[in-house]
């Protein structure tokens, strides 16, 4: 079911139609109107925008009586990292070494800890136990940058290596990731979007945003385990192909609708 939080939806919309670039100013009234098309009231939309400013993800800019929003450097980095993960999902056949992260971030830095957990899941990490995370890729560069950005490097350790053959590591994997639920999500994605059509710019915009927002959840759920360890989800290949066909095909009409609403009135 498509029930995104309004702040997440704003970032999805901007990432899809402005891109992870700083400096592009988008009229606030247009963003409010676009959120309204997904069922959010004007009040909820403006609260979401204000909270994104407080999180240093948007910057509020005034031009006379008009208010615009631009993507901050922090948001640009997050969106660029998201694009790399989303658009490579299911297309990298060489996992390489695994990454293990331990952390003991103190309660005084609980906000940083929560942000770390969210970003780790987006990089394909799964939780082994409290403070211990595992990913079937060499993620040392991304993790080092993330720990430094959150100022928690002193509370974490990272190792890379290969799983031992004994005991059976494949039997351990389902304790870290819910592979049955992941397979069901891929199946549901193909069923929902396989025959979806857009009749006009507004419906193309709505469909493209739903497509991206739904697909990007796989970055949080799919660790892309090596095929020689665990068979890939049955519908993953179909979902990846569907996304990479439909997302660019919907872009021209969707962009037209976005531009039409976010162009400030004369």
Give pLDDT, residue 232: 87
Residue 182, pLDDT > 90, answer yes
pLDDT band at 247 (very low <50, low <70, confident <90, very high): very high
pTM for this model (two decimals): 0.87
Distance, in Å, from the CA atom of 9 to the CA atom of 55, rounded to the nearest integer, reads 15
Instruction: Note the pLDDT tens digit of each residue in 160-174.
Output: 998 887 788 888 899
Residue 22, pLDDT > 70, answer no
* Mean pLDDT, all residues of the chain: 90
Give pLDDT, residue 154: 93
Give pLDDT, residue 231: 86
pLDDT band at 14 (very low <50, low <70, confident <90, very high): very high
Give pLDDT, residue 23: 64
pLDDT band at 93 (very low <50, low <70, confident <90, very high): low
Instruction: Note the pLDDT tens digit of each residue in 189-219.
Output: 999 999 888 999 999 999 999 999 999 999 8
Q: List phi, psi (to 5°) of 128.
A: -80, -45
């Amino acid at each position: 079911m498509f029930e995104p939080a309004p702040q997440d939806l704003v970032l999805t919309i901007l990432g899809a139609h402005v891109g992870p670039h700083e400096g592009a100013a988008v009229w606030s009234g247009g963003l409010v109107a676009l959120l309204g098309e997904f069922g959010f009231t004007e009040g909820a939309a403006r609260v979401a925008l204000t909270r994104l400013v407080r999180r240093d993800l948007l910057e509020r800019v005034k031009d006379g009586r008009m208010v615009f929003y631009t993507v901050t450097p922090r948001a640009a980095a997050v969106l660029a990292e998201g694009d790399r993960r989303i658009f490579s999902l299911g297309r990298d056949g060489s996992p390489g070494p695994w990454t293990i992260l331990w952390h003991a971030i103190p309660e005084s830095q609980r906000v940083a800890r929560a942000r770390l957990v969210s970003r780790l899941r987006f990089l394909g990490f799964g939780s082994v136990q409290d403070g211990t995370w595992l990913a079937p890729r060499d993620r040392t560069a991304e993790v080092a940058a993330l720990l430094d950005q959150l100022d928690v490097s002193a509370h974490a350790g990272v190792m890379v290596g290969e799983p031992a053959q004994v005991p059976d590591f494949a039997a351990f994997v389902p304790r870290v990731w819910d592979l049955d639920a992941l397979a069901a999500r891929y199946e549901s994605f193909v069923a929902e979007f396989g025959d979806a059509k857009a009749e006009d710019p507004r419906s193309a915009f709505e469909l493209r945003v739903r497509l991206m927002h739904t697909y990007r959840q796989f970055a949080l759920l799919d660790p892309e385990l090596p095929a020689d360890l665990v068979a890939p989800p049955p519908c993953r290949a179909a979902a990846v192909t569907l996304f990479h066909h439909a997302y660019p095909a919907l872009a021209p009409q969707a962009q037209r609708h976005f531009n039409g609403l976010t162009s400030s009135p004369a």
